[in-house]
Structure 1
Amino acid sequence: MRIRSLTTRLAIAAVAIGLVASGCSSNDEDAPPGSSASLGTTNDINPRDVGDLRDGGNLRLAISAFPANWNTLSNDGNDAEIGGIERPMMPRSFTTDAAGQLSINTDYFTDVQLTNTSPQQVTYTINPKAVWSDGTPITWADIQSQAHALSGADKAFLIANNIGFDRVEKVERGVDDRQAIITFKQHFAEWRGQFAGNTFLFPKSVTATADAFNKSLVDGITLTAGPFLVQSTDRAQGRIVLGRNPTWWGATPKLDTITYSVLDSSAQLLALKNNEIDAVGIGTRDDLKAAKDTPGIGIRRAPGNAWNHLTFNGAPGSPLADPKLRVAVSKAIDRQGIVTAIQNGLVENPKPLNNHIYIQGQVGYQDNSLGFDPAAAAKELDDLGWKLNGDVREKDGRKLEIRDVMYQEDTWVQIAQIIQQNLGAIGVKLNIETKPGKGYFTDVIQPGNFDVAQWTWVGDPFPLGSLNQIYGYNPNDLQGNYGRIGSPEINALIEQTVSELDPKKAMELANQLDRKVFEEGHSLPLMQSAGNVAVRADLANYGAAGLASLDYTKIGFVK
């Protein structure tokens, strides 16, 4: 499942590390060692045995906004920072290592198996010790309720992604209340990701009704089931504190608390330098130097499963409703120039991301992009009737003028300024609009109040489970297709891909689909996360996690 982030800084290493930026220098000699490593080859968390860590302590992290909705399954809560806050608190069925290899999360499940292929059936056996924070057992009924909520059968549930539950026939009780058997009416390739990666299992009290699903966690989360739980929240002060969960049955955490403070992106590095937080994603080359020069701070780096991009708005009546116009605009954007300007000095030999589904270093990645061709873009605009009149093209008395919307962060603005220059060269006027973090997705992006928009997608090891979420066009089911762009052909390819249980064939189909997404002018991937994180040097088992899951019981400070 893919979750979104408005910021290029993702210091919460519970999710893949966010994008970084630098000035326009062409010198990469200061790029951190190993910054050319591929995704899935490494992580950098200062690994230490728990015996080397002191008991107690408070891990202090920054977030850009208070959660709009703590239900991460909902469209309002589908946010990387909210997911990062909840990872120490919520059940998932699998963990991953640095190579993205899966292992059953035995704190919650003793077994998860594909037990039949005709029909496809998956059996979840729940750890008999697993309980919600009020002491009630986690049971098959929680799985059944979540499967129904995410099925899409009831459109009143405002879901972020159906994650294949639209393909589920039924969920039944197994040998006892601690076992659930999911039977599919259609094959689903990414069945392992239905309660893993960026997707948590929630109690049935949250998923039983549309009203509870959409609204019950707006002001705060209730039942959880992890080594930590919410100890206090203060919306006015912008602070969330997690404490140890007294009903937790697993290993005792080393930390006493984890504190999240709402800080503007521009204030986060200063907060680290002032010993107010313990980790932050690096935003610029200057920030990297400043962090390196700060006593007691180290730079940790591993490629992460996050990338930034442009989403076009193709809704009827929008300036970019015509797919041919969107494609022409996309061909005029110099993505290599953007990546060179943004990531030099932070990444060795930075390259643009040329695939919507797979990222560099991931098996299946190939270049399916249309390429940078401003001459072709100009000709296509001419052919569409958009003729130059001075500096800006016009058609039927209307200027070709579009709004690029983004969170107020220097990196996003710098990217937009480069695009503004690119498009200006072919007669397209780009206006830059910045927005605050509060309400960015709920009030701006989801309603479609943009022509072009920028944000970060944060993925997990299950990319096929997000195909329908983002690229499927279902007018009555928004999920993550905020640009309202698609086609019957794309929908059919999505269906074919997610139905294929042979991983190699599914990969081939996914790349065919990716090319169609480029040709539709749906969105434009820009660059993959660089993965530099400034971390307090005595903090162990935390930092640049790459594809690996963090064990929150082992995070702590060295004695």
Structure 2
Amino acid sequence: MRNKRTATLAALSIGVLLLSACGSAGGTAQQPSEAAEEDLATTINVAISQTPDAYNSYTANANSVYNTYVNNVVHSTFVAFNADGELERNEDFGTFEKTSDDPLTVKYTINEDAVWSDGTPIDFDDVLLQWAAASGKHPSGEKDPDTGAETDLFQAASTNGFGQIELPDGEAGDKEFEFVYAEPYADWESLLSEPMMPAHIAAEQGGMSPEGDGAELIEAIKGTDIEALKPVAEFWNTGWNYEADLPKLPDAALIPSSGPYKLDNAVDGTLTLVKNDKYWGKERGAKTETLVYKTVVDEEAVQALQNGDVDVIDPSSPTVDTKSALEQIGETVTVETGETLTFSHVDLAQRPGDVFEDLKVRQAFAKCMPREDMVEKFVKPIEPEGQVMDLREYQPAQPDYKTVLDGAPAATENAELDIEGAKALLAEAGKTEPVKVSLMYASTSQLRADMVALMKASCDEAGFEIIPQPEEEWAAMLAQPGSWDAVLFGWAGSGLVASAESIYVSDGEQNFGGYKDEKVDSIWKEIVTNTDPEKVVEMKTELEQRLAETQYNVVLYANPGINAWNSKVEGVQPNPTQTGLTWNAYEWTKKK
């Protein structure tokens, strides 16, 4: 699975937020003629590598691209990333404009016709719940056992941006609202690229009345009524989760849609969406009656496409076998390969008492990683220009990569395979016995298993003992200290300046290994509040140098991407960002 980071591939640093461009991501929808409609299929089947596990994808445990693939067409947002990696406005949903620089103030207007698929207006209570959930300003009264800090009621994937916003002012039923920032925020234009959840559902499930346009919930949030908000937060955190392997959907009343499609049914991991008959938009209306998401492991995706079981595939971990098998099918399938904003890496558990608490052990692990071998075996057969990646916020294809790398020499100090150097570092750390490392990865991915096998063969020579730990529910285990020593997975980027803050800062929601560094925290503070694009590279260079000096993790390579679809399907445009292939699935059609 590719976890989601919340940039254009050519122009921006990887992270979660970008400057928006006017217009809608899909352009103006053209209604097909009656004759044309008769020639179109009513269903398009989409293969995804992992089963979606939640309707609310902004919780720390559900922030994955596989939920995003569905939510792209089930939820509406003010902005979204298009196929060029640019942020474009969705005026079907609403409009916004900056009205002040000091303090930074942004005025939003939700489309007057915007409603949830159950007919409930989308308005201020939905906005206020999103702010409450993502602002980190509702203390639970409980302490985090690792950091000692007080936890928040809401378990959001990130508080980036929302944490700087003052309590929004508005009344029940309002379609207009303002966000006033206590301090500047670099990625303000893309802040509302994440979907809002239906506040009337959360309120009712939390014991509040949904009547009066959510007046009771609004009052509780404005008054910071922690006791009243606890059951609402509990539902927001877990109430929209699906059962494991998606045998069925929750009650339809709990999962209304704000997008061109709505959730219809699920059976054994297959999820069916149908047109949302309450969708008001003129530019993003669904062109195909039904979308069906089928969970297909990467190794079986090409065969499923060739057999006609699915129409579109986007394997998360493509291999040279994937590419060659697609090429053999012929003209009945359209294939596109290229770079993505996803990169593979190994995160390290480094809390007190963890295997990688000692910097020298982390550095030794970096030195024994056969990164060049992995690129030769797993990347170049698909993307010949592929190479080892030494930075975390920039990828090799981006124009600022070399500039930043030249300014961060520590990024290459432990980059070369050096078994003897790794042994020496372990000796300096006082390690006289093999250092056991339980390395977690997705059990459904043969590519990840092959990568771990290479790591084990190399690092076991250097004084480690890697114990492969394949897990089906690995994503849910990321935030469970003690359940792994190292973990191999991918971050999917967006191209924003400040989006990755929660991955690296000491109290970050996505800092799964427990990394702590005051200097990194300070640099991120400067990055997040900076609104001068000219200063970004300088600040990110300083950040990269410090992350390398302290060996935050081990970066491997930028993942190559392969998308393929039945040549009868029209409208598919691969998207290199975290938004993924289905960003414009409402436009897709298929000839019979």
Does 2:483 align with 1:454?
no
Contact 1:48–1:541 (Cα < 8 Å) also in 2: no
Is residue 376 of structure 1 aligned with residue 436 of structure 2? no
Does 1:168 pair with 2:149? no
Cα deviations across residues 250-293 of structure 1 (Å, max 9, x unaligned)? Answer: 24322111111223333322222221111223522122111121
- 1:404 alignment counterpart: 439
Rounded Cα–Cα distance in structure 2 between residues aligned with 1:294 and 1:50: 32
For the Cα contact (< 8 Å) 1:63–1:263, is it kept in 2? yes
Q: Which residue of 1 aligns with 2:453?
A: 417
Name the residue aligned to 1:126.
110
Deviation of 1:503 after TM superposition, in Å, equals 1.6
Where 1:529 maps in the other structure, the secondary structure is strand
One of 74, 94, 99 as aligned partner of 2:79:
94
Match of 1:187 among 176, 180, 184: 184
Residue 143 of structure 2 aligns with which residue?
A: none
Normalising to structure 1: TM-score of the pair?
0.83
Structure 1 residue 50: Cα displacement: 6.6
**More divergent stretch after superposition (274-283 vs 84-93):** 274-283
CA drift of 1:372 comes to 1.5
Decide which moves more: 225-234 or 528-537: 528-537
How far does residue 425 in structure 1 lie from its aligned partner after superposition? 3.0
Aligned residue for 1:535?
Answer: 565
Tell me which residue corresponds to 1:242.
273
| Among candidates 90, 96, 121, match of residue 105 of structure 1 | 90
* C-alpha distance in 2 between matches for 1:50 and 1:307: 39
Aligned with 1:262 (options 286, 295, 307)? 295
Cα pair distance change 1:187/1:542, threshold 3 Å: same
User: Relative contact order (alpha carbons < 8 A, sep ≥ 6): 1 or 2 greater?
Assistant: 1
Query: Would you tell me which structure has more helix in proportion to its own residues?
Result: 2
Partner Cα distance (1:507, 1:203) in 2: 38
CA contact (8 A) 2:2 2:342 kept: no
Runs of 4+, deviation exceeding 6 Å: 47-50
In the alignment, is the contact (CA less than 8 A) between 2:2 and 2:65 conserved in 1? yes
| TM-score of the two chains, using structure 2 as the length reference | 0.79
Taking the aligned partners of 2:68 and 2:124, their CA distance within structure 1 comes to: 23
Cα distance in structure 1, aligned partners of 2:586 and 2:518: 47
Kindly provide the amino acid, as one letter, of the partner of residue 130 in structure 2. Answer: Q
Over 3 Å counting, the alpha-carbon distance change for 1:213 and 1:386 in structure 2 is same
CA separation in 1, counterparts of 2:41 and 2:531?
46
Letter in 1 for 2:271: I
> What is the alpha-carbon distance in structure 1 between the residues aligned to residue 159 and residue 132 of structure 2?
10
Q: For residues 479-558 of structure 1, what are the structure 2 equivalents within 5 Å?
A: 479-547=509-577, 550-558=583-591
DSSP 3-state at the match of 1:340: helix
The separation in 1 between residues aligned to 2:125 and 2:326, in whole angstroms, is: 48
Letter in 2 for 1:244: K
Q: 2 CA distance for matches of 1:444 and 1:461?
A: 23
Q: 1:553 to 1:248 in 2, by over 3 A?
A: same
Distance 1:363 1:161 in 2: 28
Against the structure 1 CA distance between its residues 269 and 107, is the aligned structure 2 distance closer, same or farther, given a 3 Å change threshold? same
Q: In the TM superposition, what are the counterparts of 1:414-453 in structure 2 within 5 Å?
A: 414-436=450-472, 439-443=473-477, 446-453=480-487
1:149 corresponds, among 133, 138, 143, to 133
Q: Which amino acid aligns with 1:182?
A: F
Query: 1:492 Cα shift?
Result: 1.2
Instruction: Answer yes or no: is the 8 Å Cα contact 1:405–1:435 preserved in 2.
Output: yes
Partner of 1:23: none
**Aligned position for 2:53:** 68
Deviation at 1:75, TM superposition (A): 1.3
Match of 2:228 in 1: none
- Cα deviation digits, residues 61-100 of structure 1 (max 9, x gap): 2234433332111112111101111110112212344433
Q: Secondary structure at the match of 1:309?
A: strand
What is the aligned residue count?
Answer: 504
User: Structure 2: how far apart are the matches of 1:362 and 1:174?
Assistant: 45
Please list every run of 5 or more consecutive structure 1 residues that lacks an aligned counterpart in the other structure. Answer: 17-36, 388-393
The amino acid across from 2:156 in the alignment is I
RMSD, aligned α-carbons: 2.9
The answer to whether 1:298 aligns with 2:343 is no
Identical-residue share of aligned pairs (%): 20
What residue number does 2:348 align with?
312
How far apart are residue 422 of structure 1 and its match? 2.4
Flag structure 2 segments of 5+ consecutive residues without an equivalent: 13-25, 139-151, 204-216, 218-231, 243-249
Give the C-alpha shift of residue 551 in structure 1: 2.6
Distance 1:66 1:545, change over 3 A: closer
Q: Report the counterpart of residue 33 of structure 1 in structure 2.
A: none
Pairwise CA distance, 1:229: 0.3
Q: Whole-Å Cα distance in 2 between the matches of residues 129 and 177 of structure 1?
A: 13
How many angstroms apart in 1 are the aligned matches of 2:258 and 2:41?
20
Supply the distance in 2 between the matched residues of 1:65 and 1:97 (Cα, whole angstroms). Answer: 23
Q: For residues 175 and 101 of structure 1, do their structure 2 counterparts lie closer, same or farther at Cα, with a shift above 3 Å needed?
A: farther
